[in-house]
Amino acid sequence: METLNKDDFYRLVESRKSIRKFKPDQIDKAQLERILLAGCHAPSGKNRQNWRFYVVQGQKKDEYLALSQKSWLNIKDILKERLKPSLYDFTERFFYTLGGAPILIFCYSNNTKDEKYLTSVGSVYMAVENINLACVAEGLGCCTMGAPLEIKKEVDQFLGVTELEEYRSGELELLCGLVIGKPDHQPPKAQRQMEDRIHWLGF
């Protein structure tokens, strides 16, 4: 196995940030394919590789903005209590434009009875983190969004997955969305909270 530079790896991990404002530049398909392949190299329960990715761009992406705006209505009151006014306004603009990101990826889990539910879900989120890190390596920005879950059924219909047999049998579940593009801002990285996060036993 080829030896990797560990310092480069930790720098990559520590430099990952959620980007919510993008340049209008389109993303090369070969670059996207590398990013998605990184996701597909994640570990998964029973090696089922149960992730399903739906990549959206162009006119289809623009059509999704109406749903993004609808998801904002479901969470805006909660965010108003948690965010400073300037950050709240920025977040509202993001939901209405998705920061101008040229690429959306919707991440689904294929859940079957031969694997524990949380293992299936966790496998997909490991793939999502690989995608986040691959974006950093490619010089791109990425933000993982839980907001599509506020309108899950409508997103399923928008993507056409409701016509799939695995969806009709209750096996296909939306877990999150991703926006990807070339960063057009450099937000500060939130301080990592270490207190009561790590517990050492037997040392």
Question: β-strand 51-56 against 103-110: which pairing, if any?
Answer: antiparallel
Mean pLDDT of the 159-166 span: 98
Question: Is 51:178 a contact under the CB 8 Å cutoff?
Answer: no
Q: Which amino acid is at 73?
A: L
Measure CA of the first residue to CA of the last residue in the chain; give whole Å.
Answer: 31
Give the C-alpha separation, 60 to 32, whole Å. 17
Residue 116's identity, in one-letter code, is K
Residue range 56-85: mean pLDDT, rounded: 95
Q: Whole-model pTM?
A: 0.95
d(CA 185, CA 13): 19
* 81: enclosing H helix or E strand: helix 58-82
Task: Supply the mean pLDDT for the chain.
Answer: 96
Of the candidates 107, 116, 123, 111, the one whose C-alpha atom is nearest the C-alpha of residue 179 is 107
pLDDT band at 174 (very low <50, low <70, confident <90, very high): very high
pLDDT at 2 over 80: no
Share above pLDDT 90 across residues of the chain, in percent, rounded to a whole number:
96
Find the mean pLDDT for residues 127-132.
98
* Distant-in-sequence, close-in-space partners of 140: CB < 8 Å, separation ≥ 6: 27, 31, 35, 180, 181, 182, 183
What is residue 91's predicted lDDT score, i.e. its pLDDT? 94
Give per-residue burial for 65-101: e unless 16+ CB within 10 Å, then b. Answer: eebbeebbeeeeeeeeeeeeeeeeebbbebbeebbbb
What pLDDT score does 1 carry?
64
Share of the chain above pLDDT 70, in %: 100
Query: Does 125 score more than 70 pLDDT?
Result: yes
Q: Taking 90 as the threshold, does the pLDDT of residue 203 lie above it?
A: yes
User: Average pLDDT in the 7-26 region?
Assistant: 96
Beta bridge partners of 108: 52, 174
Q: What is the mean pLDDT of residues 99-117?
A: 97
Taking the C-alpha atoms of 111, 113, 117 and 121 in order, what is their torsion angle to the nearest 10 degrees? -30
pLDDT at 4: 79
Give me the pLDDT at residue 132, please: 98
C-beta neighbour count of 129 within 10 angstroms: 15
Domains of the chain with CATH codes: 19-181 (3.40.109.10)
For residues 101-120, average pLDDT = 97
